[in-house]
Amino acid sequence: MSNENIIFNEDEFNKFIIESNVVGFFDTPITLKSGRQSYWYANCRYLSNTFQLLDKSAQYVLNFIKSEDLDFDYVYGVPEGATKLAVIVNYKLGMERPEQRIVIGRGRIKEYGAPKDKYFIGEVKEGDKVLVLEDVTTTGGSLIKTIKQLKEVNVEIVGAIGIVNRMEKRDDGKSVEEAVNELGVPYYAMSDSIFLLPMAKIKFNPSEEVLKQVESGFEKHGLRELKFE
């Protein structure tokens, strides 16, 4: 895909994420899917609450993809958080190329059949160029599982995109980017918590105690230091 005249405005996208309430704070910590406790959240499901939000999100994804000049056959959303967004991205691509395919991942794997039927709904062909889309990456567990499933059906994974990167180390000390790269897949993040959290602080004005807990979390798990000043 040509990146001519295509601009992905990161500052504009970060503002859109904050305005859409994707990032915010908790007075009482929650336990993430990774098992860690957190005083803040990144929930991209807010982006699919209305068609208007979903359509705008999909356009940002398309702009990002085109800016990176990525060549692919279709976008595949990690089940189930990024499924709806990936479908709309492929639909918008289909306005320009009617042969555009849409492949959806099963939230619950079928217990029988070939991998193409166990994991996917839609036509998956050997050698397909696939761009994987994830909503939020923390330790990358769901993303890596999806990449491995795709590799079972012998497609070419040209890249993995995270809408929001929480910028945390995995238990093995690696970043999500490093873990994904080890599978031979380039990782791209459209936004990350280091930039988003200070913006969320201005919008939500959480207590000093919550801010200290968030900073403490980054001291323990963060890829970089985070200070609210």
Taking the domains of the chain in order of start, what are their residue ranges? 10-221
Q: What is the pLDDT of residue 115?
A: 79
Structure tokens at 15: 């503002």
Alpha helices in the chain (DSSP H): 10-19, 51-67, 83-94, 115-119, 141-152, 176-181, 193-204, 208-221
Q: What is the pLDDT of residue 114?
A: 80
Q: What is the pTM of this model?
A: 0.93
User: What is the assigned CATH class of domain 10-221?
Assistant: alpha beta
CA gap 136, 142 in Å, rounded: 10
Q: What is the pLDDT of residue 3?
A: 43
Structure tokens at 27: 């007075």
What are the angstrom distances between the C-alpha of 146 and each of 46, 50, 75, 189?
A: 22, 26, 13, 17
As a dihedral over the C-alpha atoms of residue 218, residue 166, residue 185, residue 72, rounded to 10 degrees, the angle is: -160
Along the 229 residues of the chain, how does pLDDT read in single tens digits? 444 456 899 999 999 999 999 999 999 999 987 788 999 999 999 999 999 999 999 999 999 999 999 999 999 999 988 999 999 999 999 999 999 999 999 988 887 778 788 899 999 999 999 999 999 999 999 999 999 999 999 999 999 999 999 999 999 999 999 999 999 999 999 999 999 999 999 999 999 999 999 999 999 999 999 999 8
